[in-house]
Structure 1
Amino acid sequence: MQESTRHNTGRLAFDVVVIGGGLVGMAIAYGLARGGQRVAVCDGADAAYRAARGNFGLVWVQGKGGRCLPYAQWSRESSERWGAFAAQLRRETGVETGFERPGGIELCETVEELEAGQRLLESLRAQDASLDYHVLDCHALKQRIPAASSALAGGLYSPNDGHASPLYTLRAMQQAFQRHGGVYLPSNEVREIRPRASGFEVFAASGVLDAGRVVLAAGLDNLRLAPMVGMHAPITPLRGQIMVTERLAPFLDYPTLVVRQTPEGSVLLGDSAEHAGFDDGQTRAVMADIARRARTAFPVLAHARIVRAWGALRIMTPDGLPVYEESRAHPGAFLAICHSGVTLAAAHADVIAPWIAGGAKPPVLQPFVATRFSNSTDAHHV
């Protein structure tokens, strides 16, 4: 079990300080601590904008990578790692993440949606046969999901997809991180990062931490933090709204983009995306549209009671792809930006963490650098 060291200044020193204790930061921190690094996580207050609150819980590959094949491959790799990842978290903490990988279905209301989706998936499979899919007409969809509406045109099934509980996953990673000697510092906002010749000084609410390396995984707060280490975080907030029903008898064995039934029986309704600045509230119009699409797909939901509803801010880059980059000006400082915190959690722990600890950067990550946004031509081609 690794512990921090204390410099003769009385300050705590760590191999790595991860800034941000959400799904992205905690997955990386867990992977680092599991690998023997001395790690601290500086997390914000409960009132901070947290993308985990708006995460639908999908481990999703289908349809990703239309403009960047490595993104589909990166997502698929993480999905394939998720079973072992969830099992290890369960062994170490006893916490069930709720992970299942039955495949996922994108529901299509119209024939045009079905055909457009098929064209996208076929173009991806032509480049990588592991990105497999199956087209389900209305009859085939009903065979898989009897509760699906006969009014749907069909669906697109991918065996690569699954789902998990975002909050149980976060809880499991946090507990496992601490079991490996990681130091979790909640309500400890980082105010300043000062690069030094031999590392970094991290000025947080609780005091100053010395770090050999730092990881910026603070979501929207990376906008403020990145320039401190000579980097740029090209992100904007994207609001998502979610509703949750009372617990219902099981009717949906597959995750979909708009409706997901949890193992406990409650049903998540969502898939909204709005540019609303830093307003994480709810709007009647969006909630009504979410409810309409859910009822259209599954008539059984027509009389289900909504027990909770909320909005949350996701983190989005201009092209929707992640950023994993080490600072050229201050090596040892890393930027991690990602809006698929559940999908990529396993890869963040298994692949990103060893890179940050000093390993070689995996080739699949080469396209995911912020410099792709240096001009409009670069952004277009990614």
Structure 2
Amino acid sequence: MPRPKLEVADIFRRYGPAWRRANAGHVSLIQLKVMSAIETCRTQALGGHVAACAKCGHQHIAYNSCKNRHCPKCQGPAARDWMAARTGDLLPVEYFHVVFTLPAEIARIAYWNKKAVYGLLFKATAETVLTIAADPKRLGARVGMTCVLHTWGSALTHHPHIHMIVPGGGLSPDGSRWIACKPGFFLHVRVLSRLFQRLFIEGLLALHHAGELTFFGDLASLADAAAFAAWLAPLRKSEWVVYAKPPFGGPEAVLAYLTRYTHRVAISNSRLIRADAQTVAFRWKDYRIRTGDRQKVMHLATGEFIRRFLIHVLPDGFHRIRHYGLLASASRRANIARIRTLLGAQPPKPATETGIDPFALREPCPCCGGPMRIIEIFRCGQIPRSRAPPREQAA
């Protein structure tokens, strides 16, 4: 894949030092680490390897990736590996995509309490679907789901929401049969919305009572329990956004679609148009437009672009992909095997690793299309003995 003309890494390298000096003391250590990782990704600073074509002898240098989950360049290979690992989890049933969004008022609290509020968002959404699906008046089944946290809108604003992929059905309470949902329909979004609202507000109050929330600026008064309860009161009456998209075309389409969400970052390099010391221009989608062209170009001050990108850096150790119910890691394999038996479906063929060369590359030779193989590995500061011409290629 050709390298984009402009990358987030280019913006960080050129304008990041001045931005860091101007914002000294207001940037977290993890944000600084993310900037550094993106700046050095696929450069000499991380070392690399020399690859040679088995057919024409062409050689090139490929520098190592930073493998940071916030780096736009590292998500493609990570998504492919994740998809390969999850292929065996697919079931021959309809899959549904459900989105849970936090109100803007709650998002302001999440901005300063990311670990606590994002964790609550995962818990409340999963409990909502598990509870409603288990209701005999609804589906009456134990279901499973994969949840992915996104914290951004298309314009890089702070917009926390959960993308949930759910198989269309579940196991009966005694595990003896598969209960399928109605074709093209999973659960009522209005019912999901009301329970999600209640569970989240109750969880937020519990976090406040435990002293796990902090407040700043014009929200500082919410540190008082009575003031916080009064502030939450209108949110109990408003409609919280839960959106269910139509079912996928088939199980195979689910995984390809899901990987675009699991390994997405706040902005991809392909959306960048131009950047200088004053302004960054990038493409964004205006979802407020119901019909017509939603694609627009946004111009942000360069410092503001960097700030917006970094507000989506997650806390250390925080998992943005989580599995619940039947797909929870501890029991996923046994549950999937049980469901396949009940559906009369054949298990997927196990991937074989026999004969795979660990030094063979996925990408073919750019000159003749032949197989490429690593012939030398070097570290930062070392000069490859092969003396290949220094070209930056995808690792």
TM exceeding 0.5 = no
TM tier relative to shorter chain: under 0.3
TM-score, length of structure 2 as denominator length: 0.23
- The structure with higher relative contact order (CA 8 Å, sep 6+) is 2
Larger Rg: 2
Structure 1 length-normalised TM = 0.24
